[in-house]
Amino acid sequence: MKHSSASEVIIQLSELDNVINIAIEDNGNGSNSDLWENSTGVGFANLRNRVNYLKGTIHVNTKPGEGRSFLIEFNRPS
């Protein structure tokens, strides 16, 4: 929220068929999606490293002026 200028954030946690989904969406200023893919920032790197550690996937949807959303998915441990 600090850098995005968001005033609202929605976080959803769900599980379906042993897949855990975490959806995060904000109403901030968004950014170009290429910035996310090529980011060297500590925050994004931390997020990617943690998702990779859990053998998960992360999808980012963002456009300038339209906020940002993340969908993180990983299999529930047995």
Could you state, in order of their start, the residue ranges of all structural domains in the chain? 9-75
Strands 68-75 and 19-26: antiparallel
Q: Which residue has the higher pLDDT, 61 or 33?
A: 61
pLDDT digits (tens, 9 = 90+) for 12-56: 999 999 999 999 999 988 877 666 667 777 888 888 899 999 999
CATH superfamily of 9-75: Histidine kinase-like ATPase, C-terminal domain (3.30.565.10)
Q: Which residue has the higher pLDDT, 58 or 35?
A: 58
Residue 1 scores a pLDDT above 60:
no
pTM of whole model > 0.85? no
Asked whether 6 and 35 are in contact (CB, 8 A), the reply is: no
